[in-house]
Structure 1
Amino acid sequence: MANNILKHPRINLLINIVLSLLIAINGFYLIFPVLINALFLLPDKFETFNSWENTLSVFDLFEIPQFALGCALIFAAIGLTMRTRAAWFFSLIILFFTCTYASLTTIQSHWLMPYSFTLILVLILRFKFYNKHSIIAGSYFALTGMILLLFYAVFGVLYMGSQFKPALTDMPSAFYFSLVTMSTVGYGDIVPYTQDARFFTLTVIILGITFFTASLSGVISFVTDGGFKQIIHSRRIQNMRNNHYIIAGASPLAISLYQGLKDRKMVVTVIVNKESAHTFPADTDIVIGDPSNTECLLKAGANKAKYILALRNDDSDNVFIILAAKEVIGEQTKIISLVNSSSNLQKIKRVQPDMLFSLQLLGSELLIRTLNNDPIDNKLVTDLFFGHIDT
């Protein structure tokens, strides 16, 4: 019972939102004291600015990485709402470094480390929930990570400027050293000579490698999990949706008609509602949406279709599909509608589909003529099928 509740989509969504908020709270907790410190102390320092090292000396050694970690946690929390694998991986990395930061300080370590470690465990347990792959999300986190790392590296270098040979006292030099170190090129023209500076440089190298690896893994997973294949397949389908058949509905008739058209090598696109259960084959070109919506019809290529077939079990649904189709169809497109109840035949005729047919009318009339030994020919069957005879 409990497992079924946890697997419910809305419960999963609620858990994801709560987890994102908890991670964001972690980030705000790290940022807040640094912002307060900067708000009260930095304005006076900038008024008497003589060097970056002197200005940034108002901060504790760990406050710059603390601020960068806090920002990263907030970005990670935002990303988790998209349920992408890249967001999940990025959050794990940042939480791991938060635990490391907590172990190196004494101010927040009494609760920050177990709190962050608990969030890591929850993320690991919910690994399968973050199953979406997006090249956009991967790029977002790669760019966010690099910007935050660059911020950390540049201001860290300026904070410890005199601990390098030659001393780094200006922004361009700090930016140059940060990029060279992050990319692990290491020309050797600037060298850290104190223990703090060496440790700081080591963290920049490790973080640079980590974010590069994370970015690369996001791209690789997108490729290996079929992301590019899906894009190519989607574009191929769009190109195929020309002079094709569109079936709106998932009724038994719609499924039988689909199979018949595919057996004759016709290109068919099916439109079904999100909540509708269907038994179309797995390789069917399906558009999920409301077929009475013009945007959905255009997505299925209604403006380039040969026929649009309204085959819903409800006649009122078929009427709305006809009306929507008339707004977007091309000059050569024909609309055919199913009439489920013969009593609605005249009503559906009023919206003027190109053709309509009534299996109920056809079946009952053929049975009556057979019982009465009345003649039946092809013209009669065609007229009955398309509702051209009033009975």
Structure 2
Amino acid sequence: MREARQRWAGVLRAHGWFPHVPLALLLAGGGLKMLHADLGQDWQRYLALVMEGQFDQHPALLPPLLIGLGQLTMSVGLLMRSRLAWTMASLLSIAALASLLFGVHRNVPMAIYSALVLLALLASWQTFDRSSLAASTLFAFTSVVMLMMYATLGSYYLGAQFSPPITDLVTAFYYATITMTTVGYGDIVPHTPESRLFAVSVVVLGVAVFATSLTAVVSPMIKRSLQRIVNQKGRTMKRKDHYVVIGNTSLAINTWRELAKRGQSVTRLLRDAPAEGELSDVDIVVGDSSDIDVLRQAGAHEAKAVLAMRDDDAENAFTVLAAKELGGTARTVAAVNDARHLSRIKLVQPDVIIAPQVLGGELTAMLLTGEKVTADFVLQRVFQ
């Protein structure tokens, strides 16, 4: 069952839209439904009241309003496969589930919907691996602003349940800030169960949002710096009339070694930088092989051939498309790891399709049953 699920996921991912597009639509739909269910068709009017500082007239609107707007915002990030957007979407789904089960307007069907969205997000966490600096900064800023609104407005709404009471927005902003940063001077203390639970939620969300946002913004910067350091060595090599071998699979490694034995110039393109001391004498470029700028850095437009040999057939297909878009005279070679993806790989029209793993089962059966195995048969099956 698990293998079948993985195969179907791989087939769907090959089209470049699953699962991030359906998840983004589900999250956005849940956000709109929450706004309409709790606030009615006039939720925009409630938003205007909040912006004008009149939210105390409708205190029950704060949680669904902020959660619904947050889900709508993060659905855009899911379309971009942003890791930060996935994290915030998961947290917002948990908040929506709690609000729908324990809030003023209980809604069991919507709670079940939010639970299913949360499970779908958790099951597809590996898909959201993009961490571009621009997108991460945007969604980090959005997350911090929304958390600050939640903490400030909530503190003001529950002001009478603190000692001394919080009676103005400035004091509410001050309390929200020192609580989120876990400073806690102790000059304002919650003294009811409701206000204490609210303070706990602010601390938990504050730590989660700030830690995630900082990681999402700093990580791409560090990764780019490491890539520049690793790629600097390659600039001393003239990348022309060479081979670009993409991936770190057994097939990619063996192909690189055999080409090197024959005196050919080879540039390896890896997603992650190798450990210090490894491949020190090899020309390496680190980055996303489906990114045209990374392929250009590897000299793909002036190479003899670009060999996409990663373990993900969808990534190999995207790499071939990017290499063709880049132009040049390089031949494109695509490796196929699953026979079910063979027809889809052919759609991107690589010059050569190599499918050694597809051959294994058929060749074993032929040997065991005494059928004749010829060199032409092997070449035909391996090189489609």
Q: 1:40 to 1:150 in 2, by over 3 A?
A: closer
> Which residue pairs with 1:57 in the alignment?
56
Q: 1:77 to 1:40 in 2, by over 3 A?
A: closer
> Which residue pairs with 2:149 in the alignment?
151
Alpha-carbon distance in 2 for matches of 1:203, 1:114: 22
Offset at residue 150 of structure 1 (A): 0.3
Q: 1:310 to 1:239 in 2, by over 3 A?
A: closer
> Which residue pairs with 2:165 in the alignment?
167
Rg: which structure is higher?
Answer: 1
Q: 1:108 to 1:300 in 2, by over 3 A?
A: same
Q: 1:172 to 1:257 in 2, by over 3 A?
A: same
Alignment of 1:247 onto 2:274:
no
User: Is residue 246–residue 269 contact of structure 1 (8 Å, CA) maintained in 2?
Assistant: no
Alpha-carbon distance in 2 for matches of 1:37, 1:154: 23
SS at match of 1:68: helix
User: Is residue 19–residue 127 contact of structure 2 (8 Å, CA) maintained in 1?
Assistant: no
Offset at residue 20 of structure 1 (A): 0.9
> Which residue pairs with 1:6 in the alignment?
9
The aligned runs of 1:359-374 (5 Å cut-off) are: none
SS at match of 2:81: coil
User: Is residue 241–residue 269 contact of structure 1 (8 Å, CA) maintained in 2?
Assistant: no
The aligned runs of 1:210-249 (5 Å cut-off) are: 210-215=208-213, 222=219, 228=222, 231-238=225-232, 240-242=234-236, 244-247=238-241
> Which residue pairs with 1:182 in the alignment?
180
Alpha-carbon distance in 1 for matches of 2:295, 2:105: 60
User: Is residue 247–residue 269 contact of structure 1 (8 Å, CA) maintained in 2?
Assistant: no
> Which residue pairs with 2:128 in the alignment?
130
Letter in structure 2 aligned against 1:145? S
The aligned runs of 1:233-382 (5 Å cut-off) are: 233-238=227-232, 240-242=234-236, 244-247=238-241, 269=267, 285=284, 299-300=297-298, 311=304
Alignment of 1:18 onto 2:22:
yes
Alpha-carbon distance in 1 for matches of 2:7, 2:178: 52
The aligned runs of 1:56-95 (5 Å cut-off) are: 56-61=55-60, 63-95=61-93
User: Is residue 241–residue 300 contact of structure 1 (8 Å, CA) maintained in 2?
Assistant: no
Alpha-carbon distance in 2 for matches of 1:43, 1:229: 41
SS at match of 2:7: helix
SS at match of 2:241: strand
Alignment of 1:207 onto 2:223:
no
Alpha-carbon distance in 2 for matches of 1:151, 1:189: 21
Alpha-carbon distance in 1 for matches of 2:197, 2:205: 12
Q: TM-score, normalised by structure 1?
A: 0.57
User: Is residue 84–residue 139 contact of structure 2 (8 Å, CA) maintained in 1?
Assistant: yes
Identity between Structure 1 and Structure 2 (%):
25
1:197 paired residue among 183, 195, 198 = 195
Alpha-carbon distance in 2 for matches of 1:255, 1:45: 64
SS at match of 2:166: coil
Offset at residue 140 of structure 1 (A): 4.1
Letter in structure 2 aligned against 1:31? L
Alignment of 1:116 onto 2:114:
yes
User: Is residue 80–residue 88 contact of structure 1 (8 Å, CA) maintained in 2?
Assistant: yes
Letter in structure 1 aligned against 2:25? L
> Which residue pairs with 2:99 in the alignment?
101
Offset at residue 187 of structure 1 (A): 0.9
Offset at residue 10 of structure 1 (A): 3.9
User: Is residue 241–residue 301 contact of structure 1 (8 Å, CA) maintained in 2?
Assistant: no
Number of aligned residue pairs: give it.
286
Alpha-carbon distance in 2 for matches of 1:240, 1:45: 56
Q: 1:126 to 1:111 in 2, by over 3 A?
A: same
Alpha-carbon distance in 2 for matches of 1:29, 1:44: 20
Offset at residue 162 of structure 1 (A): 3.6
Alignment of 1:27 onto 2:31:
yes
User: Is residue 230–residue 284 contact of structure 2 (8 Å, CA) maintained in 1?
Assistant: no
Q: Residues 112-158 of structure 1, C-alpha deviation per residue, up to 9 Å, x if partnerless?
A: 21101111222222233234455655544433222111011112222
Q: 1:250 to 1:130 in 2, by over 3 A?
A: closer
Letter in structure 1 aligned against 2:187? D
Letter in structure 2 aligned against 1:94? L
Offset at residue 101 of structure 1 (A): 1.1
Letter in structure 1 aligned against 2:33? Y
SS at match of 2:240: strand
Offset at residue 104 of structure 1 (A): 0.9
User: Is residue 5–residue 11 contact of structure 1 (8 Å, CA) maintained in 2?
Assistant: no
User: Is residue 246–residue 300 contact of structure 1 (8 Å, CA) maintained in 2?
Assistant: no
SS at match of 2:183: coil
Structure with more contact order per residue of length (Cα contacts < 8 Å, sep ≥ 6):
2
Q: Residues 262-313 of structure 1, C-alpha deviation per residue, up to 9 Å, x if partnerless?
A: 7xxx8x6589xxxxxxxxx9965469589xx9x78964579xxxxx966469
Offset at residue 182 of structure 1 (A): 0.9
Segments of structure 2 that go 5 or more residues without pairing to the other structure are: 246-255, 270-278, 307-323, 331-384
User: Is residue 149–residue 208 contact of structure 1 (8 Å, CA) maintained in 2?
Assistant: yes
Alpha-carbon distance in 2 for matches of 1:2, 1:150: 40
User: Is residue 242–residue 301 contact of structure 1 (8 Å, CA) maintained in 2?
Assistant: no
